[in-house]
Amino acid sequence: MGEWRAIRLIGWSRAIVWRSWWWVILAWMVAALVLMICLGWGSVPLSPGKLTAALIAPTSDLGLIVWQLRLPRTLLGALVGGALALSGWLLQQIMRNALASPDTLGVTSGASAAAVSYFAFLAADFGTGGVPLAAASGAIVAVAIVYLMAWQQGATPVRLILTGIGLSVLMAAITTFVLASSPLSTTLSAYVWLTGSVYGGNWSDVSRMALCCFLGGIAIVPLLRFALLAPLDDALATGIGVRVQLTRALLTLLAAGLAGIAVAWGGAMAFVGLVAPHLARRLIRDPGAAQPVMAVLVGAIMVMMADLAGRTLFSPLDLPAGIFVAAVGAPFFLTLLIRQAS
């Protein structure tokens, strides 16, 4: 444990590990630096002086580039990465498994199947504005199905993961069938979305997703201490007064909601929910609130950097950020799988 101090108020006390929060502050600084790089680097490069002038004058030519094109897109990427990372951290805590994530539990595939179905059958009549609602609904329905199928006088982490993997395969098959039977234009749009992209993000998207994330964060705060106790054995947790099945169901539902929100606006961006929590645990060993906050920041940094690479490395092509996240996440996943098997 790092050096800690107790903070006490009337009827409330907490032990704070200062070393952990210093890491969080450093991560905030790195995230701010990455944000500035994303705003200044592009087809129209901006020096620090020009970037400052553009931020001060939003109606200027350079200001429009920063305020209307780069800033909302970058912030949307940060929100998507943060939501996926927090969802992954919660699932890894609940399932007590290093390989648990929205991807392996069926949440992402459920959201993808619902969104692609909307693209194919409803987008022509109602527009693409309903994609976020379809994706979020698909994620929640998927986790509800996983829970019901895994329930046998309770739902253990092992049964939940195995059921989630099975459901992921089924949802992937449904997605492939819908794509194969859809018009070419719909298929191309859906493929970009399935890869994971924040292309075309605007202030309306940022404000709506920020509101959803804020509400999700408020819901998680009273359950955070149960999430920190989730790795305990069920019998031990019950012995200290935790209602294991209820809290596990609530935390799983919240994790699914966060992942659904992220997938709704950022597409099926794989591996963020797996990699970011692991990096956060490597940086912050002490269990506590600093760890999920660090996971959120790491996830935000990952997606911002991936989106920056997607729109600059192969210019004038604008590639989906999910390609670059997967390029990092897939080897990381294989490494974890090998370590688990050994």
Q: Does residue 48 lie in a domain region?
A: no
- The pLDDT score that the predictor gives to residue 310 is 93
- The pLDDT score that the predictor gives to residue 340 is 66
Q: Does residue 234 lie in a domain region?
A: yes
Q: Does residue 130 lie in a domain region?
A: yes
- The pLDDT score that the predictor gives to residue 127 is 78
Residues of the chain with pLDDT under 70: 1-17, 154, 184-186, 340-342
Q: Does residue 159 lie in a domain region?
A: yes
Q: Does residue 39 lie in a domain region?
A: no
Q: Does residue 102 lie in a domain region?
A: yes
- The pLDDT score that the predictor gives to residue 1 is 46
**How many domains are there within the chain?**
1
Q: Does residue 43 lie in a domain region?
A: no
Q: Which of these, 307, 303, 285, lies nearest to 294 by C-alpha position?
A: 285
Give the structural domain span for 207: 18-25+77-341
Looking up residue 332, the CATH number of its domain turns out to be 1.10.3470.10
- The pLDDT score that the predictor gives to residue 295 is 96
Q: Does residue 32 lie in a domain region?
A: no
Contacts of 91 (CB under 8 A, 6+ apart): 100, 101, 102, 105, 252, 255, 273
